[in-house]
Structure 1
Amino acid sequence: MEQTWRWFGPEDVVQLSHVRQTGATGIVTALHHIPYGVVWPVEEIKARKALIESDSSLQLRWSVVESLPVHESIKIGEGRLAPLFGNYRQSLRNLAECGITTVCYNFMPVIDWARTELAFPLPGGGTALRFNAHEYAAFDCFMLQRPRAEADHSPDVLALAKKWFDNSSESDRKRLLANIMAGLPGAFDRYDIPGLRRVLERYKDVDTGQLRENLATFLREIIPVAEEVGIRMCIHPDDPPRSLMGLPRIVSNEDDLGFILSVINSPANGLTLCSGSLGASASNDVPAIAKRFADRIWFAHLRNVSKEPDGSFMEADHLGGDTDMVAVVIALLEEQKRRLEAGVPYWRIPMRPDHGHELLDDVGKPTHPGYPAIGRLKGLAELRGVMTAVAALRSLPL
């Protein structure tokens, strides 16, 4: 697999020279400064690509776009969508013109990944991302005061949520809101409580079936052009794979993925396998999902989580947690072998270590939450060891 690294652009604390020291050679990035729904100009794409390749000694390349965002109006299905679809198609054409042909995107309403703690303490002084079910319930029921929110939480979780809320200070509540909003790196929309209520009102008529249909419309509008220009689109699973704030989530399990890939049966309509997102649900067998959809996986996020009975979970070590990471790696390497033997030119699957712990000298640095250098370096080193061992034992191409 191609070892890649998410880089947030020139302002990222983790520099390109640091990325090369990790052993990664592919860069995963996006033009975060361009507003959602606006065309990515060729000149901007070329400038970012030139920056990545400016030091030839690093031998880095722009491997994957993550993400080319889908405008909220497309998800809701409101207003004049033709210009937004047209702009998205033009961005794909411009990326293909510049030789960038793997595009990760998501269809999560309002927010991307969500956590309630960004610096949960680990033994020895490190920190991890964590989702506490009771803190999320406190936010949903008592801060956001969403109508009928209590029905979405168990009595035990609600009791803990009420206790947390009653004992919380204004700064505790502000921090919780900021933590939940932190899963929008580079986003132009940051919501306060009134803002969240307004955007949720826009979704009042969008249930699971309607959101599925809106995604199907997006795919029908976009995938033919992606196929035409040689781009492989790969949708990212919901993180976490559950409803948040009453909003439907439609990329959460094996059935969802099967539906999405069936809308247009094309190699251009593919999947980002995120083992951590899918692994946050006890009902998901991540290695089985990897095997079933292997021929449509064009990108992989490899990380692990430890789940708790009430729905809470925490980012674990990459080889720890509840997902059998070795089995996931075997599935991906076996798919690579199939592609290579079939003569598929893009047979290698780009992978990146996702959501590392904050460790050692990274503690306290202003990195994006979940994206410190040392924790991801540790994860990449562990995953590289598994990949190398599996490839050697099973005669599989790396």
Structure 2
Amino acid sequence: MIETWRWFGPLDDIALPEIAQTGATGIVTALHDIPYGEIWPREAIAARKAMIEAAGLHWAVVESLPVHEDIKRGVGDLDRLFANYRQSLANLAAEGITTVCYNFMPLLDWTRTRLDAPLPTGGHALRFSQVEMAGFELHMLQRPGAEADYTPEVIAAAQAWADGADEGERQRLLTAIMSGLPGAYDRYDVAGLRAALAPWAGFTADDLRASFARFLAEVVPTAEEAGIGLCVHPDDPPRPLLGLPRIVSSEADIAAIMAMQDSHANGLTLCSGSLGANPANDVPAIAARFADRIHFAHLRNVAKEPDGSFQEAAHLEGDTDMVALVAALLDEDRRRAESGGRAIPFRPDHGHALLGDLGRKTHPGYPLIGRLRGLAELRGVIAGLGHRA
């Protein structure tokens, strides 16, 4: 398996020489400055690749080559958007970058309600509170029909939260939820989010699946020809959110997507945190079932709560059996080594903000020391399993 590290480009507060000191050799990044739906020019890809290689690293994975919202909704000039996506894939392959992560979540990417949940020993973690999310939907966004998505107990607790939340607390919650928006750095206020949600009214999970099937039909042949492994990232959280459908949340969802295009180019980003937030998911079993279609792995852990809340845990301390999961990935990695296939790139995903991370302006969930702890723990698991083998 290949140790990688997510880097958000030249604006990232964590510099490439710091990443080199972690021991990771691969960089996971994207051309974040290019608007969704536009072509990634080969020259821009080459320039970013050269920047990474100058630090003694290599560009291992694209995360992400974004899918335009019009593709997800099935509206607009789709022929142009599909052509641009195919050209971007070809340009990446021409520069030797052949693992491309993407997601198919409508409008929002990952969503949390708190970016700085305190830890008992100091530091902080990302957290998703079902009560705070309900408080946001019912009392701030005032989304029609939102009551149907929450239990009576959560609705009552959300009312209590709303009764006690001052303007600062409400703004903190909005900021946390908006921090998961993909792409550049635009953020919505409540009115702006209502407007952004409006075009999705009445859009169903079946509608989204139809859009996904068309997307794969349009781009997988190009990926096959270019030798690219496309790998969809699961939903985070793995459930409908803000009235928007989500269709990459369970083992059955993944099986359906893999069947849409039965091709090695149509693969999976195995995210143990996203899948692990769904109580129905057995993440090591999912890894074993879809092992040959896993092109990339995000390794992190979450601790779930009965009401649907969850918090980012230390990599070896959450609900997912990380040792069993890594063992499944190593089994596949050995199989690929014997058959001449590619090793699986993985990265320590998210991490607690610890020690010198506190106060540093890094992306939420992507501190230096917290992720370095996670990488060290995962490296130890891999070494131990390798010794046992």
Scaled to the shorter chain, the TM-score interval is over 0.9
The reply on whether 1:109 has 2:97 as its aligned counterpart is no
Equivalent residue, structure 1, for 2:234: 237
Paired amino acid for 1:372: P
Aligned with 1:120: secondary structure? strand
The reply on whether 1:377 has 2:372 as its aligned counterpart is yes
* Aligned mates of 2:262, 2:96 — CA distance in 1: 24
The structure 2 residue matched to 1:135, chosen from 126, 129, 132, is 132
Equivalent residue, structure 2, for 1:226: 223
Aligned with 2:369: secondary structure? helix
The structure 2 residue matched to 1:354, chosen from 345, 349, 360, is 349
Equivalent residue, structure 2, for 1:63: 60
Matched length: 389
* Aligned mates of 2:278, 2:220 — CA distance in 1: 29
| Aligned-residue offset at 1:88 | 0.6
Gaps of 5+ in 1: none
* Aligned mates of 1:234, 1:187 — CA distance in 2: 22
* Aligned mates of 1:327, 1:225 — CA distance in 2: 35
* Aligned mates of 1:244, 1:185 — CA distance in 2: 15
Q: Please, what TM-score do these two structures have when normalized by structure 2?
A: 0.98
Q: Please, what TM-score do these two structures have when normalized by structure 1?
A: 0.96
Structure 1: 4+ residue segments shifted above 4 A: none
Aligned with 2:298: secondary structure? strand
The structure 1 residue matched to 2:199, chosen from 198, 202, 218, is 202
Aligned with 1:119: secondary structure? strand
1:1-398 to structure 2, matched below 5 A, reads: 1-55=1-55, 59-184=56-181, 186-187=183-184, 189-344=186-341, 346=342, 348-394=343-389
| Aligned-residue offset at 1:169 | 1.4
* Aligned mates of 1:176, 1:302 — CA distance in 2: 26
Q: Contact (CA 8 Å) 1:105, 1:233: kept in 2 or not?
A: yes
Aligned with 1:3: secondary structure? strand
* Aligned mates of 1:37, 1:130 — CA distance in 2: 31
* Aligned mates of 1:124, 1:311 — CA distance in 2: 24
RMSD over aligned Cα, in angstroms? 1.0
| Aligned-residue offset at 1:188 | 5.3
Aligned with 2:5: secondary structure? strand
Paired amino acid for 1:147: P
Deviations 1:62-104 (A, max 9, x none): 0000000100111111122111111111100110011100000
Q: Contact (CA 8 Å) 2:107, 2:181: kept in 1 or not?
A: no
| Aligned-residue offset at 1:228 | 0.7
* Aligned mates of 1:228, 1:164 — CA distance in 2: 53
Aligned with 2:222: secondary structure? helix
Q: Contact (CA 8 Å) 1:35, 1:188: kept in 2 or not?
A: no
Paired amino acid for 2:179: A
| Aligned-residue offset at 1:189 | 4.4
| Aligned-residue offset at 1:184 | 2.7
Aligned with 1:86: secondary structure? helix
Paired amino acid for 1:377: L
Aligned with 2:18: secondary structure? helix
Residues 317, 129 of structure 1: alpha-carbon distance in 2 compared, 3 angstrom cutoff: same
| Aligned-residue offset at 1:343 | 2.6
Deviations 1:24-66 (A, max 9, x none): 00000001111111110111101100110113xxx31000000
Q: Contact (CA 8 Å) 2:39, 2:87: kept in 1 or not?
A: yes
* Aligned mates of 2:182, 2:244 — CA distance in 1: 20
* Aligned mates of 1:69, 1:174 — CA distance in 2: 28
| Aligned-residue offset at 1:204 | 1.5
* Aligned mates of 1:355, 1:291 — CA distance in 2: 23
Aligned with 1:351: secondary structure? strand
Q: Contact (CA 8 Å) 2:101, 2:231: kept in 1 or not?
A: yes
Aligned with 1:28: secondary structure? strand
Gaps of 5+ in 2: none
| Aligned-residue offset at 1:141 | 1.1
Aligned with 2:347: secondary structure? strand
Q: Contact (CA 8 Å) 1:237, 1:274: kept in 2 or not?
A: yes
Aligned with 1:13: secondary structure? coil
Q: Contact (CA 8 Å) 1:49, 1:62: kept in 2 or not?
A: yes
